[in-house]
Amino acid sequence: MHFAGLTVVILAGAANIYAAINDFTRPAWLRDNMTKLGVAERWLPTLGILKALGGVGVLAGILIPVIGVAAAAGLVLFFAGAIVVVLRSRWYAHMPFPAVWLTLALAALIMRLRQL
């Protein structure tokens, strides 16, 4: 894999692991955001597990590309769903956050598919 592809994959994996850690530690800003978005706080562990698995899977894809493709595709679906939640809540000022993570997941998916 080229340097740019490796950089994107590592960044996407690290970003999702960071997001998962926030879901598990439940900082006040995150709980406030969940409330504004209309998502129950009880979903945080599940969301954290999905993000952690996606992040680790994208990184594992460096050695096993098929796992990276599956993980990146899962993250794309996850963050597309997050954008739907933001649209449903009509809190449009929050849109850049899931959009950045979706962009990272899409970039990682593209890089993974190019490697196959």
Q: pLDDT tens digits for 1-41?
A: 688 889 999 999 999 999 999 999 999 999 999 999 999 99
Answer whether 64's CB lies under 8 Å from 74's CB. Answer: no
Provide the b/e sequence for 73-101 (b: ≥16 CB within 10 Å). bbbbebbeebbeebeeeeeeebeeebeeb
pLDDT at site 1:
64
Looking at the predicted structure, is the pLDDT value of residue 47 above 90?
yes
Listed in sequence order, the residues at least 6 apart from 101 whose beta carbon sits closer than 8 Å to its beta carbon are 15, 16, 19, 75, 79, 82
Whole-prediction pTM: 0.92
Domains of the chain, residue spans = 3-115
Residue 113: CA count within 13 A, CB half-sphere: 8
The kind and range of the H/E element at 107 are helix 96-115
Say what the pLDDT of residue 114 is. Answer: 87
50-96 tens-digit pLDDT: 999 999 999 999 999 999 999 999 999 999 999 999 999 999 999 99
SS (H, E, C) 40-57: CHHHHHHHHHHHHHHHHH
